[in-house]
Chains A and B, each alone.
Chain A
Amino acid sequence: MIKILIVDDEEAIANLIRMNLVKAGYQCEVASDGEEAADAIEKRPFDLVLLDIMLPKLNGYEVLEYAKSMNIPVIFLTAMGETQQKVKGLKLGAEDYIAKPFEIAELLARVETVLRRYKKTERRIRILDIEIDTDSRTVLQNGRPVDLTTKEYELLLLFVRNKNRALYRETIYENVWGGEYSGTGRTVDLHVQRLKKKLGLEEHITAIYKVGYRFSDR
C-alpha cells in the first residue's frame, strides 16, 4: 500500500485531498503545520509528500529539506501561482507542483506520475481477468496477450487508475490525447468502443449520459 503525507494548514483542502486519494487506493495521513509534518516524515516512511508552501511554524521549503533527507519525493501545493515560487520549489528539489485551484483528476495524474518515476507504483496491475505490465506496456487477458494501440493502452490505464470514478470526455481527451478538448469530436467515443470490444468490457465500462464513461470492477 502506498502511503502519502498531506501537509496543508487549510483543513478543508487537506480533507479534500485525503478523501480523493483514499478513494483512489492510497493510504493517507494529514499534517496541519510544518513541525507536525517534519515529525511525521521522520517517524514513518512515506512514499510521497504533498506539501503546501505557506505553513505555520515551518514553511514548505524547510519541510522539503526533511523529506529530501529521507529520499521522499515531494509535490508542492501552491496557491500563489507565481512562477518564482514554482521555480524556487523545483530548484530546491521538489518533483512537481500543483497550483491551486486544481482539479481532482489533475492531482491524481500528477501523484501517479511522480510515483511511477520513483518506481513506487505496482508494475503489474491486476483487475478482473486483465493483467497490465506497465514496464513492458503489455496487456494480458486470461494469460493471452491482447494487441492494443498506444491510445487504447493509455485509455485502459486511465480507466483502471480511476476505477469507479466518472470520467468526463474532456478529462479523458486531455489525459490521453493532450491539448484542449473541443467538445464535438467523436474520437473519445470511438476509442472507448474499440477498447470495450477488444477486452470484452461492455458491462464494466458504462456510458454516463451527458458526462462520459465510468469503469467499475464490480
Chain B
Amino acid sequence: MRLSWKIFFITTPIFVLFLTFFGLWMIQDNFNDSLDREVERCMVENQMFQNSYELTLHSLSDEQRAQASTKQLVESFHRRDDEAGGNARIYSEDGEVLYQDNALAVEHSIAGKLDEEHNTGYEIVRQGDETYLVVQASCDSGERIETTKNITAIYAGRSAMYARYQIGVLIVSVLVGGLILLALFLVMRNMQKLSSATRRFATGRYDARVKIGSSDEIGRLAEDFNWMANTMNTQMEQLQNEVTRQEEFTAAFAHELKTPLTSIIGYADTIRQMELSPEETDMCADYIFRQGKRLQSLSYKLLDLTMAGREDILLREIRAGDLLHEVERTVLPSLLEKQLTIQTEAQDGYIYGDRDLLISLFVNLIDNARKASDPGKRIRVVGVRLPDGYAVSVEDEGRGIPPEELSRITEAFYMVDKSRARKEGGAGLGLALCQKIVELHQAVWQMESAPGAGLKVTVRFSYPEEGRGRRRSRDRRRTRLQKTGREEKTDERSAAQRI
C-alpha cells in the first residue's frame, strides 16, 4: 500500500472517532442539564402544590373538611387550565385516587420509593411515544400528591441533535479526509518525481534531474539529489576523459611500437629465408640496427615520462648558470655533428627544482631545436632573472611550427612532420615529457613561432612561497613539494632520510 493511503487510513478514522466521542459527550451533557433543570422545576411545582393543599386543608375546620370533597378543595387554589399546574393527582393513604386534573394516567412504580427525609421522589416513565416525568410527595396527613409532566421534547431534542451531529460529522469527515489526501498527494507527487528521477539515474540516464519548487525536506532532498548527480557526472566525465586520453596514448604507442617492430621482424625474416647478396644482407642488418635504436629511444623516453609522472619531487635551489652550462655540455656533441652552434647567456639567479628533470627538460628542448634546424644555424639559450622567479628561453632559427599545430605539439606521439621526425630519430614524446616536467615544477611555458621564423620556448619558474626569504639568507634548506601544498622541512636529517 502506498504511504499516502497508509497515512490517510490511520489519521482519518482517529479524527472521526475523536470527533464523534466529543460530540456525543457534549450532547449528552447538554441533555443531562436540561433534564436536571426540568426535574428541579417539577419538584418545586409539586412542593408548591403540596404547600397550597396543606395550607387549604389546615385552614378548614373539621366539619368543613368532612363536607368538602377533595376536588372542591383543590379547585379552590388550583385552576385546571393553568398550564404550569400540569397533571396533578392526589392519592389517599391506601392508594385511592382522590383527585385528578384529567384522565391521563401514567403507569409508574414510584410509591414506596420516596425519599425518606423529604418524602418526595420522581420517575421518568415512557408510555407509548411520550416520555413523562412523574413527581410524588406525601403529605403529613397521609395523602400523596403527584404531578406529571410531558418531557418528550427534551428527548426529541436530543435525538434531533444526534441526527444533526451525525450529518455534521459526516460532512466534516469527508472534508477533512479530502484535505488530508490532497496534502498527502501534493507531498507524494514530489516524492514520486524524486523516485522516478532516481530510477532514471540508476538505469544509466545520468542527465536525470529533479525540479521541485518547495523548500521543505523533500525539496532539500531533491536539491541534494541534483547536487549528487552533478558531482557524479563531473567525476564520470573526468574518468571518461582520462580513459580517452589513455586510449589515445595506447593507440599512438602501439603504432610507434609496431612500425620499428615490423621492420625488425621483416628484415630478420628476409635474412633467414632468402639467399641474399652480401650488400643486401648489410642493408637488412642496417635497417634492423637503426629500427632497434629507435625502439631503444622510445623505451627510454617512455621511462623518463613515467619517472616524471610521479607527484612527489624534491625542489632544490639550483644556480641557473651552472644548470644551463651543464645542459650545453650535454648537447654539444650532437650539435657539432650537425654543424650547429649554441649560445648560452644566463643572468645570475636560482631555479628551484629537480636537477635531473630540469636537465632533461632543457636537453629535450634543445634537441627539438636541433631537429628543426638546418646545418650552420644557431640555437640561443637565455636565462633571465625575474622579480619573482627565473625564466629560460630556447630559441632556434629552424623551420618553425604553423600556429594551428602549436596547441597539439605537446600531445604524446604527435609529430608535425612525421617522416622528417622519424629521420631525426624522434619518437614524438619529447615535448610531452617537457610538459610533464614543467607542470611538476609549477612553472608555465610559452611558445612563439611562425613557419620559417624558428621557435622560441620560454619557461618561467616562480620561487616557492617560502623560497624568497631563503634565497636572500642563502640558507640551504629544502622545500618539499607535496600534493597538498608546500611544507617546510627544517630538520635537515629527516629530509635527508626521505631521500
Residues of A within 8 A of B260 (CB): 12
Residues of B within 8 A of A15 (CB): 287
User: A8 to B194, alpha carbons, bound, how many Å?
Assistant: 59
- Whether A16 and B263, one on each chain, are in contact in the complex, defined by CB atoms closer than 8 angstroms, is yes
Main secondary structure of the interface of B (DSSP, over half): helix
**Cβ-neighbour of A13 out of B255, B259, B290 (below 8 A):** B259
Residue total for B at the interface (Cβ-Cβ under 8 A): 26
Residues of B within 8 A of A10 (CB): 259, 263, 419, 422
In B244-293, the 8 Å CB interface with A consists of 251, 254-255, 258-263, 265-267, 269-270, 272-275, 280, 287, 290-291
Residues of A within 8 A of B272 (CB): 166, 211
**Given A56-B418, A79-B255, A81-B254, A12-B274 contact (CB < 8 Å):** no
User: A100 to B417, alpha carbons, bound, how many Å?
Assistant: 22
User: A13 to B417, alpha carbons, bound, how many Å?
Assistant: 18
- Whether B258 and A101, one on each chain, are in contact in the complex, defined by CB atoms closer than 8 angstroms, is yes
**Given A15-B287, A79-B255, A104-B418 contact (CB < 8 Å):** no
CB-based nearest A residue for B294? A12
- Whether A9 and B418, one on each chain, are in contact in the complex, defined by CB atoms closer than 8 angstroms, is yes
- Whether A79 and B254, one on each chain, are in contact in the complex, defined by CB atoms closer than 8 angstroms, is yes
CB of A129 closer than 8 Å to a CB of B: no
User: A166 to B272, alpha carbons, bound, how many Å?
Assistant: 8
CB-based nearest A residue for B287? A12
- Whether A16 and B254, one on each chain, are in contact in the complex, defined by CB atoms closer than 8 angstroms, is no
Q: Within the complex, what minimum Cβ distance (angstroms) separates B279 from chain A?
A: 12
Q: Within the complex, what minimum Cβ distance (angstroms) separates B492 from chain A?
A: 52
CB of A23 closer than 8 Å to a CB of B: yes
**Given A13-B263, A32-B419, A20-B270 contact (CB < 8 Å):** yes
Residues of B within 8 A of A33 (CB): 419
A-B contact count (CB 8 A): 80
In A49-90, the 8 Å CB interface with B consists of 54, 56, 79-82
User: A102 to B280, alpha carbons, bound, how many Å?
Assistant: 20
- Whether A16 and B290, one on each chain, are in contact in the complex, defined by CB atoms closer than 8 angstroms, is no
- Whether A100 and B262, one on each chain, are in contact in the complex, defined by CB atoms closer than 8 angstroms, is yes
Q: Within the complex, what minimum Cβ distance (angstroms) separates B419 from chain A?
A: 5
CB-based nearest A residue for B280? A19
Q: Within the complex, what minimum Cβ distance (angstroms) separates A210 from chain B?
A: 11
Q: Within the complex, what minimum Cβ distance (angstroms) separates A155 from chain B?
A: 17
User: A129 to B167, alpha carbons, bound, how many Å?
Assistant: 122
CB of A103 closer than 8 Å to a CB of B: yes
CB-based nearest B residue for A100? B262
CB-based nearest B residue for A106? B269
- Whether A102 and B274, one on each chain, are in contact in the complex, defined by CB atoms closer than 8 angstroms, is no
Q: By CB atoms of chain B within 10 A, which of A16, A56, A167, A168 has the most?
A: A16
CB of A169 closer than 8 Å to a CB of B: no
In B290-338, the 8 Å CB interface with A consists of 290-291
- Whether A103 and B258, one on each chain, are in contact in the complex, defined by CB atoms closer than 8 angstroms, is no
A13-34 interface mask toward B, CB cutoff 8 Å, 1 = contact, 0 = none?
Answer: 1011101100100000000110
Residues of B within 8 A of A56 (CB): 417-419
User: A23 to B258, alpha carbons, bound, how many Å?
Assistant: 24
Residue total for A at the interface (Cβ-Cβ under 8 A): 31
CB of A164 closer than 8 Å to a CB of B: yes
User: A164 to B275, alpha carbons, bound, how many Å?
Assistant: 7
**Cβ-neighbour of A101 out of B265, B274, B287, B417 (below 8 A):** B265
- Whether B258 and A79, one on each chain, are in contact in the complex, defined by CB atoms closer than 8 angstroms, is yes
- Whether B254 and A13, one on each chain, are in contact in the complex, defined by CB atoms closer than 8 angstroms, is no
**Given A19-B280, A166-B273, A104-B266 contact (CB < 8 Å):** yes
Residues of B within 8 A of A165 (CB): 273-274
- Whether A9 and B419, one on each chain, are in contact in the complex, defined by CB atoms closer than 8 angstroms, is yes
User: A12 to B269, alpha carbons, bound, how many Å?
Assistant: 14
- Whether A79 and B273, one on each chain, are in contact in the complex, defined by CB atoms closer than 8 angstroms, is no
User: A16 to B259, alpha carbons, bound, how many Å?
Assistant: 12
CB-based nearest A residue for B255? A79
User: A28 to B419, alpha carbons, bound, how many Å?
Assistant: 21
Residues of B within 8 A of A12 (CB): 259-260, 263, 267, 287, 290-291
Residues of B within 8 A of A16 (CB): 262-263, 266-267, 270, 287
User: A23 to B290, alpha carbons, bound, how many Å?
Assistant: 23
**Given A13-B263, A102-B266, A81-B258 contact (CB < 8 Å):** yes
User: A104 to B265, alpha carbons, bound, how many Å?
Assistant: 9
CB-based nearest B residue for A32? B419
User: A32 to B420, alpha carbons, bound, how many Å?
Assistant: 12
Residues of A within 8 A of B263 (CB): 10, 12-13, 16
User: A212 to B275, alpha carbons, bound, how many Å?
Assistant: 15
Q: Within the complex, what minimum Cβ distance (angstroms) separates A9 from chain B?
A: 5
User: A141 to B255, alpha carbons, bound, how many Å?
Assistant: 49
Residues of B within 8 A of A17 (CB): 266
In B198-232, the 8 Å CB interface with A consists of none
User: A166 to B270, alpha carbons, bound, how many Å?
Assistant: 10
User: A169 to B265, alpha carbons, bound, how many Å?
Assistant: 18
Q: Within the complex, what minimum Cβ distance (angstroms) separates A25 from chain B?
A: 13
User: A20 to B270, alpha carbons, bound, how many Å?
Assistant: 7
- Whether B419 and A104, one on each chain, are in contact in the complex, defined by CB atoms closer than 8 angstroms, is no
Q: Within the complex, what minimum Cβ distance (angstroms) separates B61 from chain A?
A: 142
**Given A10-B422, A12-B287, A101-B255 contact (CB < 8 Å):** no
Residues of B within 8 A of A54 (CB): 255
User: A167 to B275, alpha carbons, bound, how many Å?
Assistant: 12
A94-108 interface mask toward B, CB cutoff 8 Å, 1 = contact, 0 = none?
Answer: 000000111111000
Q: Within the complex, what minimum Cβ distance (angstroms) separates A17 from chain B?
A: 8
User: A73 to B270, alpha carbons, bound, how many Å?
Assistant: 25
A117-134 interface mask toward B, CB cutoff 8 Å, 1 = contact, 0 = none?
Answer: 000000000000000000
Q: By CB atoms of chain B within 10 A, which of A10, A81, A168 has the most?
A: A10
A30-42 interface mask toward B, CB cutoff 8 Å, 1 = contact, 0 = none?
Answer: 0011000000000
Q: Within the complex, what minimum Cβ distance (angstroms) separates A105 from chain B?
A: 8
Question: Which A-B residue pairs are the 3 nearest by beta carbons?
Answer: A101-B262, A12-B263, A100-B262
> Could you give 14 example pairs across A and B, Cβ below 8 Å?
A12-B263, A12-B290, A16-B262, A16-B266, A16-B267, A16-B287, A79-B254, A79-B258, A79-B259, A80-B254, A81-B254, A81-B258, A102-B265, A166-B273
Give me the interface of B with A, judged by CB distance under 8 Å: 251, 254-255, 258-263, 265-267, 269-270, 272-275, 280, 287, 290-291, 417-419, 422
Give me the interface of A with B, judged by CB distance under 8 Å: 9-13, 15-17, 19-20, 23, 32-33, 54, 56, 79-82, 100-105, 164-168, 211
Known A13-B259, A19-B280, A166-B272; 10 more pairs at CB < 8 Å: A12-B259, A20-B270, A32-B419, A79-B258, A80-B255, A100-B262, A101-B265, A102-B265, A168-B273, A211-B272
